[in-house]
Amino acid sequence: MAETVFCRPEALAKVHTHYCPGCTHGVIHRIVAEVVDELGVRERTIGIAPVGCSVLAYDYFTTDFQEASHGRAPAVATGIKRARPDLVVFSYQGDGDLASIGMGEIIHCANRGEKITVIFVNNAIYGMTGGQMAPTTLQGQVATTCPMGRDVALAGYPIRISELLSTLRTPAFIARASVHTPLMAVNAKAMIRRAFEYQIANACFSLVEVLSTCPTNWGIPPVEAAAWLEANMIPYYPLGIFKVPEKEDRAAKPMGA
Amino acid sequence: MAKKLMKGSEAIGEAAVQAGCKLFFGYPITPQNEIPEYMSHRLPQVGGTFVQAESEVAASNMIYGAAGSGERVFTSSSSPGISLMQEAISYIAGAELPVVLVNIMRAGPGLGGILPSQADYFQATKGGGHGDYRLLVLAPWSVQEAADLVQDAFDLADYYRNPVMVLGDGLIGQMMEPCEFKEGRVPCKPLPPKTWAATGCKGDRPTNIINSLYLDAKELEDHNQKLVAKYEAMKKDEVRFAEFNTGEKADLLIVAYGTVARVCVTAIEDLKAEGIAVSMVRPITLFPYPYEKVKEEAQKAKAVLVVELSTGQMIEDVRLAVEGRRPVHFYGRQGGMLISPEEIVAKAKSILAEAPAPPLKRETKREARNG
């Protein structure tokens, strides 16, 4: 008797996506869907779609969804989770959305310790609007609004979100992964699963930054894009777990303690 | 519940609790800080949740999220804070979510001041954010009415799946008056089940998606037309106003809303003692606006006077209602300066001193020339 060893996750919709060839959004979508299925929470999961390439994420998952305005997904997620703590809430945001226009929302959401999960897709560029400089665009990287390459004297250095959020005292799970090889994707899935598990256990805020390719706006073919990510992004955006809720921070004791 | 002396801001907060709202997301701004302060200690008593957001931008997106899950939710702010919320308000209107917003108006523009004003009329009634949408706007003139309208606002928001704004000036928030919450209040509208809410897609139910994105032009036009139909239903069913001293005839009609109308009542009584008959229409809903009532009463008077704590905003709706049939005058103060009954009496007398006889059909220049 034939045994099914690989199939579409129930949480992933049976549709074609609009993503470009070589873009890793599809891989990340699938990982999130697999985790939602494995944890058995599809029927109580609410996704928050961002503004950016993944604006139509609600078409690709079979969970309830709410569309956020640009950068506000962590605030929207806060509203849902506080209204219905029994739901599993995740936001899916790109680097322009989360690290630029939504910087205030993500920092305060993490600092409040909202019991949500953020999937932060970092491809070092604005995708949907056509390849403009992102807060995560690498030094010297060419984009349509920095045609000579990112000049750190004018634009500052690319922001490392995982490191930044890890400085907060509030317990959290913060990790950075990549999906540009199958092995990396397996590791990314483990991180994302752990992030959801922390939420389901009502333990802490969780965010997994996933490095992603953008062959279209980087202007290179998909295979080269994966190599470019490995050669250029990983040295600046190291992979690993940056913060776990179990670890004691070196911080002042609360007042009265 | 017996009558209790309450500050307007506290009455607004308690009204929300009485309406079954257990969620408040807000950001401090004067002169309405007593509302979030009240909610921060009151909501935990009823098993609710208070969140002090990092900004009005975040607070308004939190209520967008909470409303998407189908729970009753509200926020309050004052003018500059409401400006920051316009993004979310547009999304809330576009996604057809029921939320209640309270704006305790202060003087602007810009940082302006912290004293009472009515200068956000345009923003509230004409759509302060982007796109074609309307808020249902309720304007209380007393603490009791603020409490009543906040409760109604939740029912109206749920019924229409539309944001409802309670628009008060700084006086409404700050003054203390007797206020009563009656037992066994009946909702002012039927409350349909929220089958659209994103609460988790159980069993075979199709996914619920809270969204205002329509990339197909025809679909978006259809969505716009659906919203228009809703606003038309509000115009038909939800117009509210109060009238004062209206009858067969008047020398002057005053149109004023909110606390300004209370000052006008004093002025009208003073004028009556001098033999001058002045009537008043006080719109309670600013959208939908009581155009028909204003038109009807204007035609019984020689002239119309609009009194506002602004440089003249509602007057544009009064002119639309009057359709040029009567002269429409304006008296307003700004910056947090208040209006005294004496100022209104003086303005009314000066208008009547110059008021022409009720208009008869007169020859136009063209008719005269052709004749």
pLDDT score at A252: 57
Find where tokens 């807000």 sit: B26
Q: Based on the domain organization, do B69 and B147 belong to the same domain?
A: yes
In total, how many domains does chain A have? Answer: 1
Structure tokens at B194: 């929220």
- Residue A257 inside a domain? The answer is no
Contact A55 B213 (CB under 8 A): yes
Number of separate domains in chain B: 2
- Kindly tell me if the per-residue pLDDT of B360 is higher than 60: no
Exposure pattern of A218-256 as b/e (b: 16+ CB <10 Å)?
bebebeebbebbeebbeeebebeebbbbeeeeeeeeeee
Residues 6 or more apart whose CB falls under 8 angstroms from that of B81 comprise B27, B29, B56
Q: Is A59 exposed, middle or buried (0-12, 13-18, 19+ CB in 10 A)?
A: middle
Confidence of residue B354 (pLDDT cuts 50, 70, 90): confident
Identify the closest residue of chain A to B48 by CA–CA distance.
Answer: A83
User: How buried is A197 (Cβ within 10 angstroms: 0-12 exposed, 13-18 middle, 19+ buried)?
Assistant: middle
Do B284 and B177 share a domain, yes or no? no
Contact B78/B105 with Cβ under 8 angstroms? yes
Q: What is the pLDDT of residues B211-245, one digit of tens each?
A: 999 999 999 999 999 999 999 999 999 999 999 99
Whether the per-residue pLDDT at B358 is higher than 70: the answer is no
Residues 6+ apart with CB under 8 A from B342: B267
Same structural domain, B174 and B255:
no
Residues B126 and B180 in one domain: yes
Residue A33 resides in a domain? yes
pLDDT digits (tens, 9 = 90+) for A132-163: 999 999 999 999 999 999 999 999 999 999 99
How high is the pLDDT of residue B228? 98
Residue A249 lies in a domain: no
Domain of B259 in residue numbering reads as: 243-354
CATH code, domain carrying B304:
3.40.50.920
To the nearest whole angstrom, how far is the Cα of B61 from the nearest Cα of chain A?
5
Burial level of A194, CB count in 10 A (0-12/13-18/19+)?
Answer: middle
pLDDT over 50 (residue B246): yes
| Residue B90 forms part of a structural domain | yes
Q: Is residue B366 part of a domain?
A: no
Q: Is residue A42 part of a domain?
A: yes
Same domain flag for B152 and B11: yes
Local structure of A59: helix, strand or coil: helix
**Is residue B371 pLDDT above 50, yes or no?**
no
Note the pLDDT tens digit of each residue in B15-43.
999 999 999 999 999 999 999 999 999 99
Q: Which residues pair with B301 in a beta bridge?
A: B250
C-beta neighbour count of B168 within 10 angstroms = 32
Count of CA atoms in the C-beta half-sphere (13 A) of B256:
33
Domain CATH number, residue B157: 3.40.50.970
**B208: in domain:** no
pLDDT digit string, tens, across residues A93-104 = 999 999 999 999
pLDDT digits (tens, 9 = 90+) for B78-131: 999 999 999 999 999 999 999 999 999 999 999 999 999 999 999 999 989 999
**B91, B195, B201: best mutation site toward chain A, by most A Cβ within 10 Å?**
B201
Residue at A250 is within a domain: no
Residue A84 lies in a domain: yes
Specify if B200 maps to a domain.
Answer: no
Asked whether residue B254 falls in the same domain as residue B227, the answer is: no
Tell me the two tokens of residue B359: 């208009």
Whichever domain contains A236, its CATH number is: 3.40.50.970
> Is A13 inside any structural domain?
no
Complex ipTM tops 0.90? yes
- Tell me which residue has tokens 């009954």: B341
Is residue B201 domain-resident? no
- Calculate mean pLDDT across residues A244-253: 72
**Chain mean position to CA B228:** 19
Shared domain check, B223 and B108: yes
B369 assigned to some structural domain: no
Q: What is the DSSP letter of A233?
A: I
Q: What's the mean per-residue pLDDT of chain A?
A: 96
Distance from CA of A112 to the nearest CA of B (A): 10
Q: Tokens in use for B77? A: 């702010």
Q: What is the mean pLDDT of residues A43-69?
A: 97
* Gap between the Cα atoms of A90 and A36, Å rounded: 10
Count of CA atoms in the C-beta half-sphere (13 A) of B369: 3
What is the rounded average pLDDT for all residues in chain B? 95
pLDDT the model gives residue B27? 98
DSSP label of A12: B
Residue B287 and residue B166 share a domain: no
Are B57 and A75 within 8 A, CB to CB?
yes
State the residue range of the domain holding A171. 25-243
Under an 8 A CB cutoff, do B62 and A66 touch? no
Q: Are residues B53 and B166 in the same domain?
A: yes
Residue A252 lies in a domain: no
- pLDDT tens for B273-322 read 999 999 999 999 999 999 999 999 999 999 999 999 999 999 999 999 99
The predicted pLDDT at position A219 comes to 97
Q: Which residue has the tokens 């060893």?
A: A5
- Specify whether B230 is located in the same domain as B271: no
Is residue B338 assigned to a domain?
Answer: yes
Q: Could you report the per-residue pLDDT of B136-185, keeping only the tens digit for each?
A: 999 999 999 999 999 999 999 999 999 999 999 889 999 999 999 999 99
